[in-house]
C-alpha cells in the first residue's frame, strides 16, 4: 500500500530532523507517528556509526525506540538535553503549539523544558494562523469533576477522553485522566496556558506557548521540507 501525501510529508520531516542529531548527544524523543519516522532514520544512523542516547516521553516512545536499537536514558542522568524531536497537533505562526492527542503532553513538556532546542516535525495540515484545536488537559482523577466545572466557566467545553478497546477513561502514563477541551480560537495562548495550570488538580495542558524562542518547526511538503522560522534553519 502506498503512503498518503500526509504520511510522506511526516516521513520527510521526521527523517530531516533525525539527520540533525549530532555525535554524542542526548535527545528527547517525543510521542507520535512523525517522531517514529525520525526514530526509523536514527536507527539507520546508529548502524552507520552514530552514538547518542534518547529520553522517551512515553512508554510507547520507549517501546518504539528499543525496536530501532536506540539507547535510552532519563532526566535523572541528564538534566539538560541537546535537543528534542517531537510532533504537534497544531502550530501557529508564532510557533506556539497544541499537543497531546497521544496523551503524553505533560512528559513532553517536561522534556521540552530541559532541552536546548525543540525540533517540531509536522506535515502541512498542522500549520495554522492561530491555535484553535482541541486542548488536552491532564487532570488528577480525584479532581476531574471540579476541573471540568472550572474549565466550563472559562468558556471551554471539556470532554473526558474515553478509551478505545476498553470501557472507561483513558489513563495517561502518569495515572491521570485527560479532558479534551474546545475553546475556539485562542487569542492569548500563553495566558490560557497559565490559567489552566493554576486550576487545582490540573497536571498540565497541551498548550506549549513558552518555548517559542527555542522552537524550530520542520514542515514536510511535496517538494521537500521547509523550516520555520527560516532564520533558525539548521545546517543539514
Q: Where in the chain is the domain with CATH 3.40.50.1360?
A: 5-126+210-232
Query: Rounded distance, CA 47 to CA 69, Å?
Result: 9
CATH code, 5-126+210-232: 3.40.50.1360
Binning pLDDT at 50, 70 and 90, where does residue 65 land?
A: very high
Q: Say whether 12 is catalytic.
A: no
Q: Is the pLDDT of residue 136 over 80?
A: yes
Cβ-in-10-Å burial (0-12, 13-18, 19+) of 86 comes to buried
The pTM for the full model equals 0.95
Supply the DSSP string of 145-200, one letter for each residue: HHHHHHHHHTT-EEEE-B-SSSSSB---TTS-EEEEEE-SS-S-HHHHHHHHHTST
pLDDT of residue 236: 66
What's residue 1's pLDDT?
38
d(CA 162, CA 209): 27
CATH class of 135-205: alpha beta
**Per-residue pLDDT tens for 174-192?**
999 999 999 999 999 999 9
Pairing relation of β-strands 90-91 and 135-139?
unpaired
DSSP label at residue 4: P
CA–CA separation, 6 and 129 (whole Å): 19
CATH 3.30.70.260 domain residues, the chain: 135-205
pLDDT over threshold 80, residue 24: yes
Which of 9, 12, 108, 138 is the catalytic position? Answer: 108
Q: How far is CA 169 from the centre of its chain?
A: 21
Amino acid at each position: 500500500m502506498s503512503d498518503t501525501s500526509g504520511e510522506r510529508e511526516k516521513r520527510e520531516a521526521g527523517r530531516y530532523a533525525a539527520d540533525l542529531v549530532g555525535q554524542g548527544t542526548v535527545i528527547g524523543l517525543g510521542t507520535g507517528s512523525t517522531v517514529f519516522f525520525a526514530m526509523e532514520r536514527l536507527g539507520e544512523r546508529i548502524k552507520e556509526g552514530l552514538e547518542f542516547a534518547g529520553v522517551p516521553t512515553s512508554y510507547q516512545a520507549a517501546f518504539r525506540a528499543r525496536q530501532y536499537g536506540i539507547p535510552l536514558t532519563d532526566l535523572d542522568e541528564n538534566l539538560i538535553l541537546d535537543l528534542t524531536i517531537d510532533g504537534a497537533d497544531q502550530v501557529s505562526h508564532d510557533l506556539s503549539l497544541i499537543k497531546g492527542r497521544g496523551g503524553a503532553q505533560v512528559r513532553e513538556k517536561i522534556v521540552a523544558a530541559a532541552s536546548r532546542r525543540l525540533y517540531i516535525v509536522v506535515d502541512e495540515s498542522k500549520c495554522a494562523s492561530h491555535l484553535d484545536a482541541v486542548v488536552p488537559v491532564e487532570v488528577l482523577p480525584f479532581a476531574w469533576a471540579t476541573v471540568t466545572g472550572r474549565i466550563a466557566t472559562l468558556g471551554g467545553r471539556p470532554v473526558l477522553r474515553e478509551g478505545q478497546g476498553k470501557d472507561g477513561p483513558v489513563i495517561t502514563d502518569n495515572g491521570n485522566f485527560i479532558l479534551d477541551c474546545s475553546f475556539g480560537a485562542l487569542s492569548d495562548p500563553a495566558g490560557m496556558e497559565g490559567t489552566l495550570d493554576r486550576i487545582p488538580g490540573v497536571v498540565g495542558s497541551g498548550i506549549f506557548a513558552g518555548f517559542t524562542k527555542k522552537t524550530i518547526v520542520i514542515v514536510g511538503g511535496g517538494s521537500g521540507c521547509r523550516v520555520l522560522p527560516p532564520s533558525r534553519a539548521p545546517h543539514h
